[in-house]
Structure 1
Amino acid sequence: MIHAPPPARGDRDMLVATYNVHRGRPPAGLFRPEGIARVIAEIRPDLIALQEAQHYLRPDAPMLDEELLAREAGLRPLRLPDRPREQGWRSNIVLVRRDATVLRPPVGLRIGGMEPRGAIMAELDLGWGPFRLIATHLSLGAARRVRQGQALLAAMEAGAGAGLPTVLVGDFNEWRAGGSVLGVLRPAFGTPPAVATFPAFRPFLALDRIMTHPAGLAAAVAAHDTPLARRASDHLPLTARVSLRGR
Protein backbone atom coordinates (compact mmCIF):
# COMPACT_ATOMS: atom_id res chain seq x y z
CA MET A 1 0.00 0.00 0.00
CA ILE A 2 1.17 3.52 -0.78
CA HIS A 3 1.73 5.89 2.13
CA ALA A 4 0.42 9.24 0.96
CA PRO A 5 -1.68 12.12 2.27
CA PRO A 6 -5.28 12.49 1.09
CA PRO A 7 -5.65 14.19 -2.29
CA ALA A 8 -5.75 17.98 -2.18
CA ARG A 9 -9.18 19.54 -2.33
CA GLY A 10 -8.36 21.92 -5.16
CA ASP A 11 -11.43 22.55 -7.30
CA ARG A 12 -12.86 19.05 -7.02
CA ASP A 13 -16.04 18.11 -5.18
CA MET A 14 -16.22 16.16 -1.94
CA LEU A 15 -15.80 12.40 -2.42
CA VAL A 16 -18.33 10.52 -0.28
CA ALA A 17 -18.68 6.75 0.04
CA THR A 18 -20.79 4.15 1.82
CA TYR A 19 -19.75 0.55 2.38
CA ASN A 20 -21.32 -2.45 4.12
CA VAL A 21 -18.21 -4.27 5.33
CA HIS A 22 -19.90 -7.54 6.37
CA ARG A 23 -18.30 -7.53 9.84
CA GLY A 24 -14.85 -7.64 8.29
CA ARG A 25 -15.46 -10.93 6.49
CA PRO A 26 -15.15 -11.71 2.78
CA PRO A 27 -18.20 -13.23 1.03
CA ALA A 28 -16.79 -16.63 2.01
CA GLY A 29 -13.91 -16.65 4.44
CA LEU A 30 -12.48 -15.70 7.78
CA PHE A 31 -12.36 -12.36 9.60
CA ARG A 32 -9.98 -10.12 7.63
CA PRO A 33 -10.65 -6.44 8.42
CA GLU A 34 -7.33 -5.40 6.90
CA GLY A 35 -8.92 -6.08 3.51
CA ILE A 36 -11.57 -3.46 4.29
CA ALA A 37 -8.87 -0.92 5.15
CA ARG A 38 -7.14 -1.59 1.83
CA VAL A 39 -10.36 -1.03 -0.12
CA ILE A 40 -10.92 2.26 1.72
CA ALA A 41 -7.34 3.27 0.86
CA GLU A 42 -8.08 2.51 -2.81
CA ILE A 43 -11.07 4.88 -2.72
CA ARG A 44 -9.36 7.61 -0.67
CA PRO A 45 -12.66 9.32 0.23
CA ASP A 46 -13.12 12.50 2.18
CA LEU A 47 -15.86 10.73 4.12
CA ILE A 48 -17.02 7.12 4.21
CA ALA A 49 -19.87 5.54 6.18
CA LEU A 50 -19.49 1.88 7.10
CA GLN A 51 -22.20 -0.60 8.08
CA GLU A 52 -21.78 -3.90 9.93
CA ALA A 53 -18.51 -2.47 11.19
CA GLN A 54 -18.88 -3.30 14.87
CA HIS A 55 -19.85 -6.45 16.73
CA TYR A 56 -23.41 -5.96 17.96
CA LEU A 57 -22.68 -7.53 21.35
CA ARG A 58 -19.17 -6.07 21.77
CA PRO A 59 -19.33 -2.48 20.49
CA ASP A 60 -16.22 -1.46 22.42
CA ALA A 61 -14.08 -4.07 20.60
CA PRO A 62 -12.71 -2.10 17.61
CA MET A 63 -12.81 -3.82 14.24
CA LEU A 64 -10.72 -1.29 12.33
CA ASP A 65 -7.04 -0.50 12.74
CA GLU A 66 -7.16 3.27 13.24
CA GLU A 67 -3.42 3.77 12.78
CA LEU A 68 -3.57 1.95 9.46
CA LEU A 69 -6.53 4.03 8.27
CA ALA A 70 -4.82 7.26 9.32
CA ARG A 71 -1.58 6.31 7.59
CA GLU A 72 -3.00 4.86 4.37
CA ALA A 73 -6.19 6.88 3.85
CA GLY A 74 -5.86 9.96 6.07
CA LEU A 75 -9.10 9.13 7.91
CA ARG A 76 -10.26 8.98 11.52
CA PRO A 77 -13.45 7.70 13.18
CA LEU A 78 -16.13 10.21 14.05
CA ARG A 79 -16.83 9.12 17.62
CA LEU A 80 -19.96 9.90 19.61
CA PRO A 81 -18.99 12.06 22.62
CA ASP A 82 -20.85 9.79 25.05
CA ARG A 83 -19.25 6.62 23.63
CA PRO A 84 -15.52 7.38 23.46
CA ARG A 85 -14.51 3.71 23.60
CA GLU A 86 -16.57 2.81 20.53
CA GLN A 87 -15.63 3.54 16.94
CA GLY A 88 -19.26 4.08 15.98
CA TRP A 89 -22.89 3.42 16.86
CA ARG A 90 -24.94 0.26 16.37
CA SER A 91 -22.51 -1.13 13.76
CA ASN A 92 -22.35 2.20 11.88
CA ILE A 93 -18.95 3.89 11.69
CA VAL A 94 -18.20 7.19 9.96
CA LEU A 95 -14.63 7.91 8.89
CA VAL A 96 -13.68 11.49 7.96
CA ARG A 97 -10.57 13.36 6.92
CA ARG A 98 -8.27 14.03 9.84
CA ASP A 99 -8.65 17.78 9.26
CA ALA A 100 -12.46 17.70 9.24
CA THR A 101 -14.22 20.33 11.35
CA VAL A 102 -17.03 19.00 13.54
CA LEU A 103 -19.62 21.77 13.75
CA ARG A 104 -22.04 19.78 15.89
CA PRO A 105 -20.94 16.53 17.57
CA PRO A 106 -22.36 13.30 16.19
CA VAL A 107 -25.38 11.73 17.82
CA GLY A 108 -26.68 8.19 17.59
CA LEU A 109 -30.25 7.86 16.36
CA ARG A 110 -32.48 4.99 17.41
CA ILE A 111 -34.71 4.22 14.46
CA GLY A 112 -36.44 1.03 15.63
CA GLY A 113 -36.59 -2.43 14.12
CA MET A 114 -36.00 -5.95 15.36
CA GLU A 115 -32.32 -5.78 14.43
CA PRO A 116 -30.11 -3.35 16.38
CA ARG A 117 -30.27 -0.73 13.63
CA GLY A 118 -29.45 2.93 13.99
CA ALA A 119 -27.99 6.02 12.38
CA ILE A 120 -25.30 8.61 13.06
CA MET A 121 -26.11 12.28 12.48
CA ALA A 122 -23.53 15.06 12.59
CA GLU A 123 -22.84 18.52 11.20
CA LEU A 124 -19.46 18.82 9.50
CA ASP A 125 -17.25 20.93 7.31
CA LEU A 126 -14.61 19.06 5.32
CA GLY A 127 -13.45 22.16 3.46
CA TRP A 128 -16.37 22.62 1.07
CA GLY A 129 -18.76 24.26 3.50
CA PRO A 130 -21.09 23.04 6.26
CA PHE A 131 -23.48 20.14 5.78
CA ARG A 132 -25.41 17.59 7.77
CA LEU A 133 -24.51 13.93 7.48
CA ILE A 134 -26.85 11.03 8.24
CA ALA A 135 -25.31 7.56 7.95
CA THR A 136 -27.56 4.55 8.48
CA HIS A 137 -28.26 0.85 8.01
CA LEU A 138 -31.93 0.00 7.58
CA SER A 139 -33.83 -3.18 8.37
CA LEU A 140 -34.68 -6.10 6.13
CA GLY A 141 -38.47 -5.73 6.47
CA ALA A 142 -40.15 -3.22 4.13
CA ALA A 143 -42.67 -2.00 6.73
CA ARG A 144 -39.89 -1.36 9.24
CA ARG A 145 -37.87 0.53 6.62
CA VAL A 146 -40.84 2.84 6.05
CA ARG A 147 -40.95 3.70 9.76
CA GLN A 148 -37.18 4.12 9.84
CA GLY A 149 -37.30 6.51 6.90
CA GLN A 150 -39.91 8.55 8.71
CA ALA A 151 -37.70 8.60 11.81
CA LEU A 152 -34.73 9.86 9.78
CA LEU A 153 -36.80 12.67 8.27
CA ALA A 154 -38.08 13.65 11.72
CA ALA A 155 -34.52 13.73 13.10
CA MET A 156 -33.36 15.86 10.18
CA GLU A 157 -36.23 18.32 10.61
CA ALA A 158 -35.62 18.55 14.36
CA GLY A 159 -31.88 19.14 13.95
CA ALA A 160 -30.38 22.48 14.88
CA GLY A 161 -28.77 23.08 11.48
CA ALA A 162 -31.84 24.39 9.68
CA GLY A 163 -31.10 25.11 6.05
CA LEU A 164 -27.97 22.97 5.90
CA PRO A 165 -27.65 20.65 2.92
CA THR A 166 -27.98 17.03 4.03
CA VAL A 167 -26.08 13.98 2.80
CA LEU A 168 -27.85 10.70 3.59
CA VAL A 169 -25.87 7.51 3.00
CA GLY A 170 -26.01 3.86 3.92
CA ASP A 171 -27.26 0.38 3.26
CA PHE A 172 -31.01 0.81 2.76
CA ASN A 173 -31.73 -2.85 1.95
CA GLU A 174 -34.05 -1.53 -0.77
CA TRP A 175 -33.59 -2.07 -4.49
CA ARG A 176 -36.93 -0.78 -5.83
CA ALA A 177 -36.72 2.83 -7.00
CA GLY A 178 -40.09 3.80 -5.50
CA GLY A 179 -40.34 1.04 -2.94
CA SER A 180 -40.89 1.37 0.79
CA VAL A 181 -38.34 3.76 2.31
CA LEU A 182 -37.25 5.34 -0.97
CA GLY A 183 -40.83 6.42 -1.53
CA VAL A 184 -40.90 7.98 1.94
CA LEU A 185 -37.65 9.86 1.35
CA ARG A 186 -38.37 10.96 -2.22
CA PRO A 187 -40.10 14.31 -1.39
CA ALA A 188 -36.99 15.49 0.48
CA PHE A 189 -34.20 13.67 -1.35
CA GLY A 190 -35.53 12.88 -4.82
CA THR A 191 -34.82 9.54 -6.49
CA PRO A 192 -31.16 8.53 -6.17
CA PRO A 193 -29.36 6.61 -8.93
CA ALA A 194 -29.73 2.85 -8.62
CA VAL A 195 -26.22 1.38 -8.78
CA ALA A 196 -25.82 -2.35 -8.16
CA THR A 197 -23.52 -3.11 -5.22
CA PHE A 198 -24.67 -6.56 -4.03
CA PRO A 199 -23.47 -9.27 -4.13
CA ALA A 200 -19.92 -8.06 -4.58
CA PHE A 201 -18.77 -10.89 -6.84
CA ARG A 202 -21.62 -10.26 -9.33
CA PRO A 203 -23.66 -7.23 -8.28
CA PHE A 204 -27.24 -6.84 -9.47
CA LEU A 205 -29.07 -5.30 -6.47
CA ALA A 206 -28.83 -1.59 -5.60
CA LEU A 207 -29.01 -1.87 -1.81
CA ASP A 208 -26.68 1.03 -0.98
CA ARG A 209 -27.55 4.68 -1.62
CA ILE A 210 -26.10 8.19 -1.52
CA MET A 211 -28.82 10.86 -1.40
CA THR A 212 -28.83 14.61 -0.84
CA HIS A 213 -31.22 17.31 0.25
CA PRO A 214 -31.67 19.37 -1.81
CA ALA A 215 -31.71 16.62 -4.40
CA GLY A 216 -29.14 16.66 -7.16
CA LEU A 217 -26.00 17.55 -5.20
CA ALA A 218 -24.47 14.08 -5.79
CA ALA A 219 -22.94 13.23 -9.16
CA ALA A 220 -20.81 10.45 -10.61
CA VAL A 221 -22.47 7.84 -8.38
CA ALA A 222 -20.68 4.55 -8.98
CA ALA A 223 -19.71 1.24 -7.42
CA HIS A 224 -16.04 0.90 -6.53
CA ASP A 225 -15.56 -2.36 -8.40
CA THR A 226 -12.01 -3.69 -8.12
CA PRO A 227 -10.60 -7.19 -7.58
CA LEU A 228 -9.80 -6.27 -3.99
CA ALA A 229 -13.30 -4.90 -3.33
CA ARG A 230 -14.91 -8.04 -4.72
CA ARG A 231 -12.97 -10.15 -2.23
CA ALA A 232 -13.19 -7.97 0.90
CA SER A 233 -16.94 -7.92 1.63
CA ASP A 234 -20.28 -9.10 0.25
CA HIS A 235 -21.09 -5.49 -0.84
CA LEU A 236 -19.13 -3.20 -3.13
CA PRO A 237 -18.56 0.34 -1.87
CA LEU A 238 -20.70 3.07 -3.43
CA THR A 239 -19.08 6.45 -4.16
CA ALA A 240 -20.28 9.87 -5.30
CA ARG A 241 -19.00 13.39 -5.81
CA VAL A 242 -21.06 15.80 -3.70
CA SER A 243 -21.06 19.46 -4.68
CA LEU A 244 -21.67 22.06 -1.98
CA ARG A 245 -20.49 24.95 -4.13
CA GLY A 246 -22.54 28.10 -3.76
CA ARG A 247 -24.64 26.70 -0.91
Structure 2
Amino acid sequence: MKTIRVASYNIRKAIGTDRRRIPERVLEVLAEVDADIIALQEADRRFGVRSAAIPAAMLDRQSDYKSVPINVQVDSMGWHGNAILVRKAADVGAHDVVHIPYLEPRGATMAEVSVKGVSMRVFGMHLDLSGLWRRKQAAAVIHAAAQGNAMPTVLMGDLNEWSANRGCLADFARHYSFAGCGRSYHAQRPVARLDRIMHCGKLTLTDCGVHESAAARKASDHLPIWADFKI
Protein backbone atom coordinates (compact mmCIF):
# COMPACT_ATOMS: atom_id res chain seq x y z
CA MET A 1 0.00 0.00 0.00
CA LYS A 2 1.26 3.47 -0.93
CA THR A 3 0.11 6.81 0.47
CA ILE A 4 -0.62 9.54 -2.07
CA ARG A 5 -1.43 13.11 -1.10
CA VAL A 6 -3.61 15.20 -3.39
CA ALA A 7 -4.54 18.84 -2.95
CA SER A 8 -6.80 21.46 -4.48
CA TYR A 9 -6.05 25.17 -4.40
CA ASN A 10 -7.74 28.21 -5.93
CA ILE A 11 -4.74 30.53 -6.20
CA ARG A 12 -6.76 33.56 -7.40
CA LYS A 13 -4.28 34.32 -10.16
CA ALA A 14 -1.57 34.61 -7.45
CA ILE A 15 -3.23 37.71 -6.00
CA GLY A 16 -3.12 37.56 -2.23
CA THR A 17 -5.44 38.90 0.45
CA ASP A 18 -3.30 42.05 0.42
CA ARG A 19 -4.23 42.48 -3.29
CA ARG A 20 -0.61 41.99 -4.37
CA ARG A 21 0.29 39.51 -7.12
CA ILE A 22 3.20 37.48 -5.71
CA PRO A 23 3.41 33.99 -7.27
CA GLU A 24 6.36 33.11 -5.04
CA ARG A 25 3.97 33.01 -2.10
CA VAL A 26 1.84 30.41 -3.86
CA LEU A 27 4.93 28.24 -4.38
CA GLU A 28 5.75 28.60 -0.69
CA VAL A 29 2.30 27.33 0.22
CA LEU A 30 2.55 24.43 -2.24
CA ALA A 31 5.84 23.40 -0.64
CA GLU A 32 4.17 23.45 2.79
CA VAL A 33 1.28 21.27 1.63
CA ASP A 34 3.76 18.86 -0.01
CA ALA A 35 1.16 17.03 -2.15
CA ASP A 36 2.00 14.60 -4.94
CA ILE A 37 -0.76 15.90 -7.24
CA ILE A 38 -2.37 19.35 -7.10
CA ALA A 39 -5.41 20.74 -8.91
CA LEU A 40 -5.16 24.51 -9.29
CA GLN A 41 -7.97 26.91 -10.09
CA GLU A 42 -7.54 30.46 -11.42
CA ALA A 43 -4.03 29.43 -12.47
CA ASP A 44 -4.05 31.77 -15.48
CA ARG A 45 -4.68 35.48 -15.70
CA ARG A 46 -8.23 36.28 -16.73
CA PHE A 47 -7.68 38.86 -19.46
CA GLY A 48 -5.30 39.49 -22.36
CA VAL A 49 -3.24 36.50 -23.43
CA ARG A 50 -4.21 34.71 -20.20
CA SER A 51 -0.62 33.91 -19.30
CA ALA A 52 0.13 31.59 -16.39
CA ALA A 53 -0.12 33.19 -12.95
CA ILE A 54 3.01 31.26 -12.03
CA PRO A 55 5.58 31.64 -14.84
CA ALA A 56 6.84 28.29 -16.16
CA ALA A 57 10.48 29.16 -15.45
CA MET A 58 9.63 30.07 -11.85
CA LEU A 59 7.67 26.85 -11.33
CA ASP A 60 10.59 24.82 -12.66
CA ARG A 61 13.25 26.72 -10.72
CA GLN A 62 11.54 27.16 -7.37
CA SER A 63 9.37 24.08 -6.91
CA ASP A 64 9.32 20.29 -7.10
CA TYR A 65 6.41 20.43 -9.57
CA LYS A 66 5.68 20.43 -13.27
CA SER A 67 2.37 21.24 -14.92
CA VAL A 68 0.46 18.71 -16.99
CA PRO A 69 0.90 20.02 -20.56
CA ILE A 70 -2.63 21.01 -21.55
CA ASN A 71 -1.22 23.03 -24.50
CA VAL A 72 -4.48 24.81 -25.26
CA GLN A 73 -3.09 28.34 -25.34
CA VAL A 74 0.45 29.67 -25.50
CA ASP A 75 1.80 30.83 -22.11
CA SER A 76 -1.23 29.51 -20.21
CA MET A 77 -0.83 26.83 -17.57
CA GLY A 78 -4.32 25.36 -17.80
CA TRP A 79 -7.77 25.39 -19.37
CA HIS A 80 -10.03 28.23 -18.26
CA GLY A 81 -7.66 28.58 -15.31
CA ASN A 82 -7.74 24.89 -14.34
CA ALA A 83 -4.30 23.28 -14.13
CA ILE A 84 -2.85 20.10 -12.67
CA LEU A 85 0.60 20.00 -11.08
CA VAL A 86 2.50 16.79 -10.37
CA ARG A 87 5.88 15.93 -8.90
CA LYS A 88 8.70 16.30 -11.40
CA ALA A 89 9.44 12.60 -10.91
CA ALA A 90 5.87 11.61 -11.81
CA ASP A 91 4.89 10.20 -15.18
CA VAL A 92 1.92 11.74 -16.97
CA GLY A 93 -0.07 9.49 -19.28
CA ALA A 94 -3.30 10.43 -21.03
CA HIS A 95 -4.42 13.98 -20.30
CA ASP A 96 -7.01 16.31 -21.77
CA VAL A 97 -9.40 19.16 -21.23
CA VAL A 98 -12.99 18.36 -20.27
CA HIS A 99 -15.56 20.47 -22.08
CA ILE A 100 -18.45 21.41 -19.83
CA PRO A 101 -21.55 23.56 -20.48
CA TYR A 102 -21.20 27.08 -19.15
CA LEU A 103 -22.78 30.47 -18.74
CA GLU A 104 -19.45 32.10 -17.91
CA PRO A 105 -16.19 30.55 -19.24
CA ARG A 106 -15.53 27.37 -17.24
CA GLY A 107 -13.71 24.12 -17.82
CA ALA A 108 -12.17 21.06 -16.28
CA THR A 109 -8.99 19.05 -16.81
CA MET A 110 -8.02 15.38 -16.54
CA ALA A 111 -4.72 13.55 -16.20
CA GLU A 112 -3.60 9.99 -15.63
CA VAL A 113 -0.59 10.14 -13.32
CA SER A 114 1.91 7.58 -12.07
CA VAL A 115 3.70 8.63 -8.89
CA LYS A 116 5.45 6.55 -6.21
CA GLY A 117 4.73 3.49 -8.30
CA VAL A 118 0.97 4.12 -8.19
CA SER A 119 -1.26 5.09 -11.12
CA MET A 120 -4.41 7.14 -10.71
CA ARG A 121 -6.67 9.51 -12.59
CA VAL A 122 -7.34 13.07 -11.48
CA PHE A 123 -9.97 15.60 -12.54
CA GLY A 124 -9.66 19.28 -11.65
CA MET A 125 -12.52 21.75 -11.99
CA HIS A 126 -13.86 25.20 -11.15
CA LEU A 127 -17.64 25.28 -11.38
CA ASP A 128 -20.05 28.12 -12.11
CA LEU A 129 -21.52 30.64 -9.68
CA SER A 130 -25.00 29.65 -10.89
CA GLY A 131 -26.50 26.59 -9.20
CA LEU A 132 -28.27 25.45 -12.36
CA TRP A 133 -25.07 25.57 -14.40
CA ARG A 134 -23.08 23.92 -11.60
CA ARG A 135 -25.36 20.90 -11.79
CA LYS A 136 -25.01 20.72 -15.58
CA GLN A 137 -21.24 20.96 -15.24
CA ALA A 138 -21.17 18.31 -12.52
CA ALA A 139 -23.10 15.97 -14.81
CA ALA A 140 -20.54 16.54 -17.57
CA VAL A 141 -17.59 15.81 -15.26
CA ILE A 142 -19.29 12.69 -13.85
CA HIS A 143 -19.92 11.48 -17.40
CA ALA A 144 -16.29 12.11 -18.40
CA ALA A 145 -15.00 10.29 -15.32
CA ALA A 146 -17.16 7.26 -16.17
CA GLN A 147 -15.45 6.85 -19.53
CA GLY A 148 -12.23 4.95 -20.21
CA ASN A 149 -10.35 2.71 -17.82
CA ALA A 150 -11.18 1.89 -14.22
CA MET A 151 -8.19 3.56 -12.56
CA PRO A 152 -8.54 4.90 -9.00
CA THR A 153 -10.06 8.35 -9.50
CA VAL A 154 -10.07 11.65 -7.62
CA LEU A 155 -12.16 14.69 -8.53
CA MET A 156 -11.35 18.02 -6.90
CA GLY A 157 -11.65 21.74 -7.25
CA ASP A 158 -13.60 24.85 -6.37
CA LEU A 159 -17.24 23.79 -6.69
CA ASN A 160 -18.65 27.20 -5.67
CA GLU A 161 -21.39 25.37 -3.76
CA TRP A 162 -22.44 27.08 -0.51
CA SER A 163 -25.04 24.51 0.58
CA ALA A 164 -24.08 21.64 2.86
CA ASN A 165 -25.32 18.72 0.77
CA ARG A 166 -27.61 19.94 -2.00
CA GLY A 167 -27.19 20.92 -5.65
CA CYS A 168 -24.08 19.58 -7.36
CA LEU A 169 -22.89 18.07 -4.07
CA ALA A 170 -25.84 15.66 -4.11
CA ASP A 171 -25.11 14.83 -7.74
CA PHE A 172 -21.47 14.01 -7.06
CA ALA A 173 -22.37 12.09 -3.88
CA ARG A 174 -24.32 9.53 -5.90
CA HIS A 175 -21.05 8.41 -7.48
CA TYR A 176 -18.18 9.49 -5.21
CA SER A 177 -17.28 9.90 -1.56
CA PHE A 178 -16.28 13.28 -0.15
CA ALA A 179 -13.21 13.96 1.93
CA GLY A 180 -14.39 16.17 4.80
CA CYS A 181 -11.53 18.63 4.52
CA GLY A 182 -13.20 21.63 6.15
CA ARG A 183 -13.81 25.31 5.46
CA SER A 184 -11.43 26.90 2.98
CA TYR A 185 -13.03 30.25 2.07
CA HIS A 186 -12.37 33.07 2.92
CA ALA A 187 -8.69 32.50 3.73
CA GLN A 188 -8.58 35.02 6.57
CA ARG A 189 -11.78 33.80 8.20
CA PRO A 190 -13.01 30.54 6.63
CA VAL A 191 -16.81 30.26 6.58
CA ALA A 192 -17.56 27.98 3.59
CA ARG A 193 -16.50 24.64 2.08
CA LEU A 194 -16.31 25.82 -1.51
CA ASP A 195 -13.28 23.62 -2.28
CA ARG A 196 -13.86 19.86 -2.33
CA ILE A 197 -12.06 16.56 -2.89
CA MET A 198 -14.03 13.47 -3.98
CA HIS A 199 -12.85 9.92 -4.59
CA CYS A 200 -13.93 6.54 -5.86
CA GLY A 201 -14.18 3.36 -3.79
CA LYS A 202 -10.78 2.10 -4.92
CA LEU A 203 -9.11 4.71 -2.72
CA THR A 204 -9.00 4.57 1.08
CA LEU A 205 -9.03 7.98 2.71
CA THR A 206 -6.68 8.11 5.69
CA ASP A 207 -6.56 11.83 6.51
CA CYS A 208 -7.60 15.20 5.11
CA GLY A 209 -7.70 18.84 6.07
CA VAL A 210 -7.35 22.51 5.25
CA HIS A 211 -3.88 24.04 5.19
CA GLU A 212 -4.09 27.12 7.38
CA SER A 213 -0.54 28.45 7.62
CA ALA A 214 0.32 32.14 7.86
CA ALA A 215 1.58 32.02 4.28
CA ALA A 216 -1.65 30.43 3.05
CA ARG A 217 -3.74 33.16 4.66
CA LYS A 218 -1.90 35.74 2.56
CA ALA A 219 -1.24 33.99 -0.76
CA SER A 220 -4.89 33.71 -1.96
CA ASP A 221 -8.46 34.25 -0.78
CA HIS A 222 -8.87 30.45 -0.66
CA LEU A 223 -6.94 28.05 1.57
CA PRO A 224 -5.64 24.84 -0.02
CA ILE A 225 -7.29 21.57 0.96
CA TRP A 226 -5.57 18.16 0.96
CA ALA A 227 -6.32 14.47 1.35
CA ASP A 228 -4.17 11.38 1.89
CA PHE A 229 -5.17 8.10 0.27
CA LYS A 230 -3.95 4.53 0.55
CA ILE A 231 -3.82 2.70 -2.75
Same fold, TM exceeding 0.5?
Answer: yes
SS in 1 for 2:101: coil
The CA distance in 2 between the partners of 1:47 and 1:156, in whole Å, is: 17
SS in 2 for 1:69: helix
The CA distance in 2 between the partners of 1:82 and 1:29, in whole Å, is: 28
2:2–2:116: 8 Å Cα contact kept in structure 1?
no
1:197–1:204: 8 Å Cα contact kept in structure 2?
yes
Cα deviation for residue 226 of structure 1 reads 0.5
Out of 205, 208, 227, the residue aligned to residue 240 of structure 1 is: 227
Cα deviation for residue 83 of structure 1 reads 4.6
The CA distance in 2 between the partners of 1:164 and 1:215, in whole Å, is: 8
- Report the RMSD for the aligned CA atoms in angstroms: 1.9
1:66-122 CA-to-partner distances (Å, cap 9, x unmatched) read 344334431001112555643111101111011111221x11112122221110012
Name the residue aligned to 1:142: 131
Pairing 1:113–2:102 present: yes
Cα deviation for residue 41 of structure 1 reads 1.5
Q: 1:215 to 1:63 in 2, by over 3 A?
A: same
Cα deviation for residue 132 of structure 1 reads 1.2
Pairing 1:123–2:112 present: yes
Name the residue aligned to 1:88: 78
Unaligned runs of 5+ in 2: none
Bigger proportion of residues as strand: 2
Cα deviation for residue 194 of structure 1 reads 5.1
Name the residue aligned to 2:172: 185
Q: How many residues align?
A: 231
Name the residue aligned to 2:185: 198
The CA distance in 2 between the partners of 1:74 and 1:194, in whole Å, is: 24
The CA distance in 1 between the partners of 2:212 and 2:225, in whole Å, is: 9
By relative contact order (CA 8 Å, sep 6+), the higher-ranking structure is 2
Name the residue aligned to 2:199: 212
Q: Percent identity between the aligned chains? A: 31
